[in-house]
Amino acid sequence: MKCTDCYSPIVDTIESCPNCGSEVKKTVTTSQGEVTTAINSTKLILTDMSSRDEIIIESSGIIGREGDFALDYFKECDYVSRLHCEVTLINNGFMIEHLPTAKHPTKIDNIALSVRVPRALRDRSILTIADKSYRVSIKTTSVSEDTLQANELKPEQPPQDIIDSDIEQTNQAGSPISEVKYEIECRKCGTIHDVPSEDSIIKECSDCEDEYDKRDIAKVKARRINAN
């Protein structure tokens, strides 16, 4: 097979092209017999060795009490810092860095990480964050590219009760239906961000300068507004 980006000859057992570094796309046959392009989807699963709780990470981000993952779980971890360590998804694997904001160490197999020095996370290794230890599991699966594109293009629909309410208001008043929009307001600086749906989340406020303040917006729910 050949790389779909640089067309260099490659084998289908590798995850990225050695020539250009692009992710290797493979073909799969669907249940209808169709051949389609597939890409790999990688998950990092951290299993708490005490409680057996699982933290599933599918993208790059911050681990901590005010991080990007499992906030309900980490808010109960007193020794985990607000921004403790950062994981980065690279070529179907994960790297981890200890952050300077962390008060307690981050370790892999009982070896402490230096600040801002990335280390690779390996399957079945033990990750220690402050006083918590986790069994690391990395799962990679092939997903149809057509399926991913269909999910990305699928429009978000407002709840049926909102649609019915707008129709009823139009019938009673005889005026056009107001366009439904959603927004999230930063509690720190007051900036209002437009979002596509009421389930939307903003990880960081682009106008806040403080590292902690900018992440506060992740806790704010979107509100519905009617635009005339």
CATH number of the domain that residue 129 is part of? 2.60.200.20
- DSSP assignment string, 80-120: S-SS-EEEEEETTEEEEEE-TT-SS-EEETTEEPPBT--EE
pLDDT for position 79: 96
Do 175 and 116 sit in the same domain of this protein? Answer: no
Determine, yes or no, domain membership for 36: no
At residue 128, does pLDDT exceed 80?
yes
Do 137 and 161 sit in the same domain of this protein? Answer: no
Determine, yes or no, domain membership for 10: no
Distance CA 38, CA 147 (A): 9
Which residues, 6 or more positions from 137, have their beta carbon under 8 angstroms from its beta carbon?
Answer: 44, 45, 46, 47, 123, 124
Question: Of the candidates 113, 141, 169, which is a domain's last residue?
Answer: 141
Do 117 and 208 sit in the same domain of this protein? Answer: no
| Cα angle for residues 97, 95, 13 (degrees, 5° grid) | 170
Q: What is the mean pLDDT of residues 16-22?
A: 63
Question: How sure is the predictor about 200, in pLDDT bands with cuts at 50, 70 and 90?
Answer: confident
Do 56 and 135 sit in the same domain of this protein? Answer: yes
**Which residue is it, tokens 């960081």?**
204
Determine, yes or no, domain membership for 28: no
Do 124 and 172 sit in the same domain of this protein? Answer: no
Question: Of the candidates 116, 141, 166, which is a domain's last residue?
Answer: 141
Do 127 and 91 sit in the same domain of this protein? Answer: yes
Do 46 and 68 sit in the same domain of this protein? Answer: yes
At residue 120, does pLDDT exceed 60?
yes
Q: What is the mean pLDDT of residues 207-214?
A: 86
Residue 67 · residue 74 · CB < 8 Å: yes
pLDDT for position 47: 97
Determine, yes or no, domain membership for 51: yes
Helix (H) or strand (E) holding 28: strand 26-29
Residues facing 180 on adjacent strands: 226
Tokens of 150: 């269909």
CA distances 174 to 139, 162, 167, 178, Å, are 55, 17, 10, 12
Distance CA 4, CA 25 (A): 7
pLDDT for position 10: 65
Determine, yes or no, domain membership for 33: no
Do 50 and 111 sit in the same domain of this protein? Answer: yes
Residue 166 · residue 50 · CB < 8 Å: no
Determine, yes or no, domain membership for 12: no
Question: Of the candidates 141, 166, 199, which is a domain's last residue?
Answer: 141
More confident residue, 110 or 143: 110
Do 68 and 131 sit in the same domain of this protein? Answer: yes
pLDDT for position 144: 58
23-60 pLDDT, tens digit each: 666 555 555 555 455 567 899 999 999 999 999 999 99
Tokens of 31: 């249940």
Determine, yes or no, domain membership for 147: no
pTM of the model: 0.53
Do 49 and 107 sit in the same domain of this protein? Answer: yes
135-188 pLDDT, tens digit each: 999 998 866 555 545 555 555 555 555 555 554 555 554 555 557 888 999 988
More confident residue, 181 or 18: 181
More confident residue, 149 or 201: 201
CB atoms < 10 A from the CB of 110, how many?
A: 8
- Name the burial class of residue 11, with classes exposed (0-12), middle (13-18) and buried (19+) by CB atoms within 10 angstroms of its CB: exposed
Do 137 and 204 sit in the same domain of this protein? Answer: no
pLDDT for position 8: 67
At residue 210, does pLDDT exceed 70?
yes
Determine, yes or no, domain membership for 183: yes
Domain coverage including residue 104: 41-141
Q: What is the mean pLDDT of residues 195-212?
A: 87
pLDDT for position 129: 98
Do 131 and 48 sit in the same domain of this protein? Answer: yes
**Torsion angle (degrees, nearest 10) of CA 89, 41, 48, 67:** 50
* Number of domains forming the structure of the chain: 2
54-100 pLDDT, tens digit each: 999 999 999 999 999 999 999 999 999 999 999 999 878 999 999 99
Tokens of 168: 């009823």
